[in-house]
Amino acid sequence: MNPIIAPFDASLYTITVVDSNGCKASDKILVLVKKERPIFIPNTFSPNGDGLNDIFYINARDGFVDEITYFQIYDRWGNKIFEKERFLPNDPAYGWDGVYRNKKVNSAVFVYWALIKFKDGESILYKGDVTVQR
C-alpha cells in the first residue's frame, strides 16, 4: 500500500493494519503543513517621478491572495495618511504615491499595516515600516 495525502491544514492520521492471523497494529502520524505566503512589501520607495519605485504597494504571487482587506499608513505622530480597502495585490493604482493632503511628504519613515486574506480563507496581519526617499 502506498497511501498519498495532500492536506491543507495540520492533520493527524491513524493507520491500522490487520495481518492474516487477525493481529492488529496501529500507528499515528501528525502532518504539519507549512503554508506558503509569497508576499512582498518593500521597506523603501522613492516617489520622485523617475518611473522607478514611485509607488508603495503590496506585491504577491498570483493565485495566493483573495483580497487585501485593509492597507493603512501612518506618520510618526500617528496620523493616518493613506488607506485602501478590499483590493488585489500587484496593482500600483492601490498604492501610496508619497502624498498627504495634496503635498509631497518629506523623506521620513512611516509605518503600515495590511490585513491580507488568502485563498485558503486565512487572514494574516502584516505590519512594518517604509522609508520615503526623495
**Global pTM?**
0.78
- Domain of 108 in residue numbering reads as 39-132
Q: pLDDT value at position 38? A: 96
Q: Confirm whether 77 is domain-assigned.
A: yes
Q: Does residue 7 have a pLDDT over 90?
A: no
Residues, the chain: 134
Q: Does residue 5 have a pLDDT over 90?
A: no
Which tens digits make up the pLDDT trace of 48-91?
Answer: 999 999 999 999 999 999 999 999 999 999 999 999 999 999 99
Distances (CA, A) of 81 to 17, 18, 84, 88: 62, 66, 11, 20
Question: Which CATH number characterizes residue 59's domain?
Answer: 2.60.40
Q: Confirm whether 122 is domain-assigned.
A: yes
Which tens digits make up the pLDDT trace of 84-131?
Answer: 999 999 999 999 999 999 999 999 999 999 999 999 899 999 999 999
85 contacts: CB under 8 Å, gap ≥ 6: 69, 70, 71
Distances (CA, A) of 85 to 35, 68, 82, 88, 105: 24, 7, 11, 9, 22
Q: pLDDT value at position 6? A: 80
Q: Confirm whether 10 is domain-assigned.
A: no
CB of 98 closer than 8 Å to CB of 106:
no
Q: Confirm whether 114 is domain-assigned.
A: yes
What is the grid cell recorded at 66?
Answer: 483573495
Q: Confirm whether 47 is domain-assigned.
A: yes
Q: Confirm whether 8 is domain-assigned.
A: no
Which tens digits make up the pLDDT trace of 12-60?
Answer: 999 999 999 999 999 999 999 888 899 999 999 999 999 999 999 999 9
Number of domains in the chain: 1
